[in-house]
Structure 1
Amino acid sequence: MELSSKNSSKEAIRTTQLGIIISIALIFIKGLSGYLGHSYALIADATESGADVVSSGLLWLALIYAQRPADQGHPYGHGKAEPIAALLIGLFLIAAAGWIGYHSIYYIRTPHGLPKSYTLIVLLVVILSKELLFRYVLKIGKRLNSQAVKADAYHHRSDAITSIAAFIGIVIALVLGKGYEGADDWAALMACVFIIYNAIKIIRPAFSEIMDAAPSPEFIAEITEIAAQHIEVKEVEKCYVRKMGLQYYVDMHIEVDGTIDVFTAHQVAHQVKDELLASDLSIKDVIIHVEPHSA
């Protein structure tokens, strides 16, 4: 289980590194194309990629920190760094939306030329690359059950949404011509709404995890079922589960025959714990309290 956790963390880090490399490349491509092509929406898009790099870098550090073993000050390990990173990524998204919105309004009020048509080609490449990156990172995040990796995926999706809005705005400006130079600026402003929406989708589950909210009832039922299958377990009275990084900690009350001795009851608890740790449910540790069963 420990080896599996390390492999999961390494995979999450590799995914984050890929996102950083692609985002850095897109910053230069979009920023230069936006400047030369007179498109603030494209420049705003480059800003969004910059936020991607910052947030992915933050996630990278958090995933490395989350791998640190438990110590006296952190007996449950350092896994909470992972949802904290997700929370900060969401806040970065909101800040990026505010920055883009402010400058969009400025450029809407400032006369400027029509964007160049080649910026559309740049945006098509950006949209495709970011959407593919989003799907890949989200797939990894779901498989690892990592809120931070999923948050990073939605950051890439926000970048794709900004690019789509810029594409629409530039098309409107080019088709309608003079008098519609600010269409792509309006597009950048509208994209801010979608970015904030994605930020909220990231922040809510991350905050729940920080607050030790229970996982889904289906997940708890799987844990309970494994414990209940033990021949000596008469009933699973309580089962509390909390997530720490990429793994789970379980507190459980089981009922056994009240006539068996303490040593046997203790063995039953250890057997149930071993069965849960050997499952594929990413359980890090289990604390079991044994109670006598009342017929």
Structure 2
Amino acid sequence: MYTLENEGKLGRIFLAAMLGNAAVSLVKILGGLLSGSTALLADGSDSILNVASSGIAYHYYKRSRKPPDEKHPYGHVRFEVYGSILILLLMAATFSFVGFMAVDRLAHGEPELVDKIGIAFAVVSILLNALVSSLLRVHGRGSQIALAESRHVSLDVAEGVTTLAGVTLGSLFSAYYDLAATIIILGMVSYFIYETLQDLRSQIIDTSPPSEVLDAIREEAMRIHGVKGVHALRARVVGERIYADLHLEVDPHLSVEEAHRLCDELEKSIERRFEGRVDLTIHVEPAPSHG
């Protein structure tokens, strides 16, 4: 549940993540410039991007947790999806530029060996990335965008290991190893973008919850004395909530007051079972006659 306390806590987490990513990016960019490593520069570009994406993530997290209002009667949860898409667009733009840098370096013949000082910078950056990722993963539970940001920074750890290998081999044997590490990093980022888009797709196109959820709603309805049947049950997942609607069949001779009582009973039953995560809309209709 969104509270000012949670907002303040996550705000401090994202601020710490931004400061951590700023430190990481400084280490990587400086290491790339001093050692001549394209892989470190590529990794550093991603860390600079992390600073911006942490700010975007927190901004849209706050907006998504606002309660429903007249203009947004179903809440603001999809602002998280919008923020996640902005982060992906930034990533795509940044790494298109990094890819151009790698191709340009290849076009000018075999580059010089990478300076061994880059190895130290790569090791330090891995440790800093691991710390930032752990911070977001542990303290950002319950937020889709915080989890996405944690996965993004976790990717940086894998990128850092690849960078370390590329810088080490590039300083000992050939700078082509460093360029190969750059290409691998670009591949990792591309896969991350694809996976995140797959996750966001379910939020954008109103995916149905697991069949067990629908079965549980139907089961709760049929437990209520006076309910003759349930049909046209459907539901969609929006963020952490589920919006469901159904047709409730009752005795044709039941009064409006009695039918309303059955609906109230079902709503309370669903609220208890799903801990308030299901928003249920009920349409009452007379049960079909079998005589």
Structure 1 pair 222/284, CA: closer, same or farther in 2 (3 Å)? Answer: closer
| Separation in structure 1 between the aligned mates of residue 93 and residue 239 of structure 2, nearest angstrom | 25
Alignment match, 2:96: 98
Amino acid at match of 2:147: K
Structure 1 residue 60: Cα displacement: 1.2
Amino acid at match of 1:57: G
Q: Describe the SS at the equivalent of 2:2.
A: helix
Deviations, residues 78-122 of structure 1 (Å, cap 9, x unaligned): 221111212222232222331221112223334654323343233
The 8 Å contact of residues 90 and 200 in structure 1, kept in 2 or not, is answered as no
1:141-220 paired onto structure 2 within 5 Å: 144=142, 146-176=143-173, 180-220=174-214
Specify which of 59, 64, 77 is matched with residue 61 of structure 1. Answer: 59
Amino acid at match of 2:162: A
Deviations, residues 184-231 of structure 1 (Å, cap 9, x unaligned): 122112211111111011112213312222233334444444444434
| Separation in structure 1 between the aligned mates of residue 212 and residue 138 of structure 2, nearest angstrom | 20
Say whether residues 1:236 and 2:234 are aligned partners.
no
Larger mean Cα displacement after TM superposition, 198-207 or 86-95 = 86-95
1:235-254 paired onto structure 2 within 5 Å: 235-254=229-248
Amino acid at match of 1:268: L
User: Structure 2 unaligned runs (5+)?
Assistant: none
| Separation in structure 2 between the aligned mates of residue 239 and residue 14 of structure 1, nearest angstrom | 42
| Separation in structure 2 between the aligned mates of residue 15 and residue 82 of structure 1, nearest angstrom | 17
Alignment match, 2:123: 124
The 8 Å contact of residues 105 and 189 in structure 1, kept in 2 or not, is answered as no
Structure 1 pair 235/133, CA: closer, same or farther in 2 (3 Å)? Answer: farther
| Separation in structure 2 between the aligned mates of residue 259 and residue 15 of structure 1, nearest angstrom | 58
The 8 Å contact of residues 84 and 206 in structure 1, kept in 2 or not, is answered as no
CA radius of gyration, larger in: 2
Specify which of 24, 34, 37 is matched with residue 36 of structure 1. Answer: 34
The 8 Å contact of residues 24 and 128 in structure 2, kept in 1 or not, is answered as no
Say whether residues 1:271 and 2:265 are aligned partners.
yes
Specify which of 53, 69, 72 is matched with residue 70 of structure 2. Answer: 72
Amino acid at match of 2:189: I
Amino acid at match of 1:17: L
Larger mean Cα displacement after TM superposition, 267-276 or 102-111 = 102-111
Structure 1 pair 220/87, CA: closer, same or farther in 2 (3 Å)? Answer: farther
Amino acid at match of 1:201: E
Aligned length: 287
Greater RCO (CA < 8 Å, at least 6 residues apart): 1
- CA-atom RMSD, angstroms? 2.8
**If the length of structure 2 is used for normalisation, what is the TM-score?**
0.84
Say whether residues 1:287 and 2:281 are aligned partners.
yes
Structure 1 pair 194/65, CA: closer, same or farther in 2 (3 Å)? Answer: same
User: Structure 1 unaligned runs (5+)?
Assistant: none
Q: Describe the SS at the equivalent of 1:5.
A: coil
Deviations, residues 232-268 of structure 1 (Å, cap 9, x unaligned): 4444323332333433322232333444322111111
Larger mean Cα displacement after TM superposition, 74-83 or 230-239 = 230-239
Q: Describe the SS at the equivalent of 1:31.
A: helix
Structure 1 pair 195/241, CA: closer, same or farther in 2 (3 Å)? Answer: same
Structure 1 pair 46/63, CA: closer, same or farther in 2 (3 Å)? Answer: same
Structure 1 pair 62/223, CA: closer, same or farther in 2 (3 Å)? Answer: farther
Structure 1 residue 26: Cα displacement: 0.7
| Separation in structure 2 between the aligned mates of residue 15 and residue 221 of structure 1, nearest angstrom | 38
